[in-house]
Amino acid sequence: MRPETEALVVIDIQNDFCPGGALAVAGGDEIIAGVNALMKDFQVRVLTQDWHPADHSSFAANHPGAAPFSLAQMPYGPQVLWPAHCVQGTDGAAFHPGLATDPADLIIRKGFRSAIDSYSAFFENDRTTPTGLEGYLRSRGVSQLTLVGLATDFCVAYSAVDAARLGFGVTVLEGACRAIDLDGSLAAARQAMSGAGVTLA
């Protein structure tokens, strides 16, 4: 069993990110058994959940004429316009039924403000609006994080880089993640994580 100073953060293992979902990550469901096994090793376990209102500004459908996966300029910078996904209260937003959610000490919902997307478990995409996760982990005495989940090159990578920037020791278990790999995004994400001091294991 890992010491209480170490936490497992499980990123967005939701139906819409698994095969058959609205924004499916290839093989997204293949990591679930391994993640469930990992949870037994940690005393502090956090799950994150994408939780968008239907009118979310990151949905291509809310920008007439815009194609999914195109880029739009937002007040906080460039934003990928996604297919509608993880809409609050829908089956797509629910955790994958195979994921063990009972062990979670905390579930962080992100992306619930319609005007700003939130890839990271720590900050929205303006990089300044906090989710509250940092404060929770500090109050538990956590200093080391292990990240797993979906997708490696977006929500996992953003969370890992932010955690390192906040001073946590961070390891990403790549075998317990899967990537979208949009136009080379996986290579860029791996480079960003390594550059931030994240251990890729």
For the chain, 201 residues long, the average pLDDT of each consecutive 10-residue run is 97 98 97 98 98 98 96 94 97 98 97 96 95 98 98 97 98 97 94 98 96
Peptide bond into 60 cis (omega under 30): no
Of 57, 63, 157, 168, give the one whose Cα is nearest residue 112.
57
Tokens matching residue 81: 């316009």
Residue positions annotated with a catalytic role: 12, 110, 155
pTM attached to this predicted model = 0.96
| Non-local CB neighbours of 90 within 8 Å, separated by 6+ positions | none
The confidence score (pLDDT) of residue 182 equals 87
| Non-local CB neighbours of 191 within 8 Å, separated by 6+ positions | none
Report the distance separating Cα 145 and Cα 137, nearest Å.
9
| Non-local CB neighbours of 30 within 8 Å, separated by 6+ positions | 178
Burial of 184 (0-12, 13-18, 19+ CB in 10 A): exposed
Report the distance separating Cα 37 and Cα 60, nearest Å.
36
The confidence score (pLDDT) of residue 85 equals 98
Helix H or strand E encompassing 132: none
Helix H or strand E encompassing 123: none
